[in-house]
Structure 1
Amino acid sequence: MPAFASASRLLCAITFATVMTPALAGWDETPEVAWKGYLSDCQSFQDVVNKVQSATMTTRQAMNRVDSLNHTLYVHRDHLAQASLASPEYARCENVIAQAFEIRNKEEPVLVAELQEQYFKAQAEHEKSPEYKRARALGFSDVGGIGKLKELAEESETDGEAYLKTLMITVDWQCGRHLRAVQYVKPYVVYVVGPNSGSCAVYKEVAVLGGAMVERGDPIDEDLIFQYVGWKKLKGAGGFPINIRVVKVRK
């Protein structure tokens, strides 16, 4: 399913960025300061190896710790003097760091497998739901959720919005349940996902056309089926225009 492929690519992108991109890119330091920082990182990597070997740290914890340490490691390495790079201490540290990364890299596929299992389990439950079956029975090619619209739009390189308009969507089993009514912009009710809703907060808002009137703060009706309309510019708070995704209630 395209949504899972996108999720997998997202996981890979996040992992790559965590491992390869220094958080302090552009930060300058003297070779002396860099060497002290590098040796400190080296000791931290050694602690990770020691704790995993003594079973006082899990490999999952080690993976997270290695990713965190790697941010500063890249910065310090970039500023080391040639004498430091040629030293026995540097060679020893690089060996320790390699051991820590071996532990980390063995754990990563385990994490990916767990995420895949969670996704497929959730997807299977979604496909068994009455809402999903009802939408498919109406003859639409696929059923996704409000939280997936952005991913689908990015993946649909050839058909774009036209492709999205062929999809019937239910309120997303993953993110839609967090939507709460915040504003009425005739004839639309605007729903927003709060900032404390984890990854679902990325998909912040959607305007619903044709639904029943609700009170501010009411959750979106998870029993309804919606058809994606597209992006529209509505008048937001204080009269300022907002671009927002619009769905309409399927009659």
Structure 2
Amino acid sequence: MSYAAAFVDLDGTVWRGRSAIPAANAGLRALRDAAVPIVFLTNNTGVRRDEVTSRLDAIGIDYEGEPVVTAAWATAAYLAEHRPDADVHVMGQDTVEAEIEDAGLTLSTEGRADVVVAGYDDRVDFARLTGTLRAFGPGTVFVATNRDRTTPEEDGPVPGANAFVSAIEGMVDQEPVVVGKPETRMADLAAAEVGADVHNCLMIGDNLETDVLMGERAGMDTALVCSGVSAREDVAASEIEPTYVVDDLGDVASLL
């Protein structure tokens, strides 16, 4: 099968924690040998786009200048397009704040804000939750970087962004606008990076509820790799149907 591009997830697909998944280089090499452009596409908000490339190099993953789309960068791009003059309160990682500032928006450090952005936040405590609650007022827009339930690490799963987004949602009784996977905004941004028609692209990732569902919603073929969050038995129990199910990224060669 020939594809205009492949969108490749990172956590659980290329790396797990701070270690490369052994078959990742073989899979990436197969895509390059088949002349399929690669876009790395991740809900991870802990790294900026240039930091992703450094991390790939550091763990021994061959990187050849491919574009990177992160949920943090995508969130900043969404706000720059839809709320460019907003004061933005962030309950999330420093990376999210930096991307929002780089997009020309103003960060709100206290009081009410026009927009509240929430995502994974390993610094959260009662005071931080209270400050976020008090940032809401009439008309405040609630934005989530993503709603990943968990993130795969070397020693097992850890809570994902949804743990923090749901805490805020429960306090304010307001559903967020979600930017990251499985929303198709991420697919559209990735396709634009390589000038491809999203419908002719392949989404490769380890999570049925984010990677595969986004691809399904965007009208793409999808490949679930069983090296991270989701396993083959999860597919049997789910209404989400990947086009392909493989053990790891190295098996993608058989799909091309």
**What's the TM-score, normalizing by structure 1?**
0.27
Q: Larger relative CO (CA 8 A, sep 6+): 1 or 2?
A: 2
Structure 1 or 2: more helix by fraction:
1
Larger radius of gyration: 1
Scaled by the length of structure 2, what TM-score is found? Answer: 0.27
